[in-house]
Amino acid sequence: MPLKGVPVNDPRLSTEHDYSGSAFKPLYITRVAVTGGSSAHGRATGRARSADGALDLELRMPEELGGDTTGPNPEQLFAAGYAACFHGALSLLARRHLLDPEPITVEATVAFGRDPADGGYQLRADLVVTWPGVERDTATSLLAQATALCPYAKMTRQGIPATISLAR
């Protein structure tokens, strides 16, 4: 839902006009720093701040994991990012096919649990798309295309290139 009085511009992203070449081309880069808060545990009492200041919130452990639920947790943030990104990809495809993306809802469910392979932790994610007024075959075809287009969907399927390093 748009904020009242705040105009929202259509995004400039397009699969036809924003890519060329054979190497990864960053279109946007962000940085978010998490500190540990009162328990020195970023997941339980941390604070997440983006470099541009647009994101600044306290993180909390969900009640099911012993937390107090007074703030968002990392799984909620991931679910929001995944659902928003997939919605954006599907909306782009809907417009390309002259369909109205306004009634599209994408609901993400993210589960945090034990990984039976190594005893560590893992995430599982499911998306459910509601798109009233669109033929099921059409919607199914566009969902498949959005799955190929959305970087979060690619990440859940293939993983992502990532590095972990210690600052000097």
Give the residue-averaged pLDDT of 101-119: 96
Q: Enumerate helices (H) and strands (E) in the chain, giving the number of each.
A: 4, 5
**Global pTM?**
0.86
pLDDT at 147 over 70: yes
Between CA 165 and CA 168 the distance in angstroms is: 9
What are the tens digits of pLDDT across the range 124-141? 999 999 999 999 999 999
Give the residue-averaged pLDDT of 15-33: 79
- Among the residues of the chain, which ranges form H helices? 42-45, 74-96, 136-149, 151-158
- Among the residues of 46-114, which ranges form H helices? 74-96
| 8-state DSSP, 31 | -
Domain annotation for the chain: domains and CATH numbers: 30-72 (2.20.25), 73-159 (3.30.300.20)
Q: Are 102 and 57 in contact (CB under 8 A)?
A: no
Mean per-residue pLDDT over the chain, rounded? 90
